[in-house]
């Protein structure tokens, strides 16, 4: 099973954001990487719509954020906190007095319709779970330490189901201490 550091996970998230036009730079189409990334032309950026609900322990909504952008601005930061480093998402949830979040991201031009959840688990760990709009695709995600500094990937397709995959991820996370 693949193990990733928070930094590697954030790099993967940034790569995904570049594909959606959510980040300001990426290497040019098919060229060898240069010493500095080239800006993505505004004409190639795609509309992204993000809805975030932060929930308390009972599942009640304590905060909502709705953001739409082609090129993110300062007012999109509440939604962007949920698209990269897990520490940012955990901090946003805690700042709102929450114990979890539901995230829905749509980019109509490329057919993206993704949903994910973040939940605080027993022992203070955080379960990040992604659902795919692709039929038959099993859930996957990350299990992170209470402070979000250590995370491990899990994939239900490779582990005989989500419960077994999360259990194995919890064991890997315990072994890192």
Using the 8-state DSSP alphabet, how is residue 40 labeled? P
CB atoms within 10 A of CB 90: 23
C-alpha dist (Å) from residue 153 to 19, 67, 135: 21, 27, 21
CA nearest neighbour of 63 among 87, 99, 107, 104: 99
- How big is the chain, counted in residues? 177
Find tokens 């300062």 and name the residue.
74
Average pLDDT of the residues in 129-134: 76
**Highest mean pLDDT out of 31-40, 122-131, 159-168:** 122-131
pTM for the full predicted model: 0.72
- What confidence score (pLDDT) does residue 78 get? 94
Chain-centre distance for alpha carbon 92: 13
Give per-residue pLDDT as tens, 59-100: 999 999 999 999 889 999 999 999 888 999 999 999 999 999
99-128 pLDDT, tens digit per residue, is 999 999 999 888 888 899 999 998 899 999
What average pLDDT does this structure show over 138-147?
88
Residue 25's pLDDT is what? Answer: 34
């Amino acid at each position: 099973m693949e193990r990733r550091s928070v930094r590697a996970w954030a790099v993967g998230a940034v790569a995904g954001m570049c594909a959606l036009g959510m980040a300001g730079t990426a290497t040019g189409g098919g060229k060898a990487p240069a010493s500095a990334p080239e800006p993505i032309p505004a004409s190639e950026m795609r509309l992204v719509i993000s809805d975030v609900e932060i929930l308390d322990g009972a599942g009640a909504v304590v905060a909502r954020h709705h953001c739409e952008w082609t090129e993110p601005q300062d007012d999109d930061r509440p939604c962007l906190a949920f698209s990269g480093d897990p520490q940012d998402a955990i901090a946003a949830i805690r700042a709102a007095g929450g114990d979890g979040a539901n995230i829905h991201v749509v980019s109509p031009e490329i057919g993206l319709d993704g949903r994910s959840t973040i939940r605080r688990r027993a022992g203070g760990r955080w379960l990040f779970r992604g659902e795919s709009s692709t039929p038959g695709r099993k859930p996957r995600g990350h299990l992170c330490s209470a402070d979000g500094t250590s995370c491990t990937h899990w994939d239900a397709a490779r582990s005989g189901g989500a419960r077994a995959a999360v259990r194995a991820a919890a064991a890997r996370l315990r072994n890192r201490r």
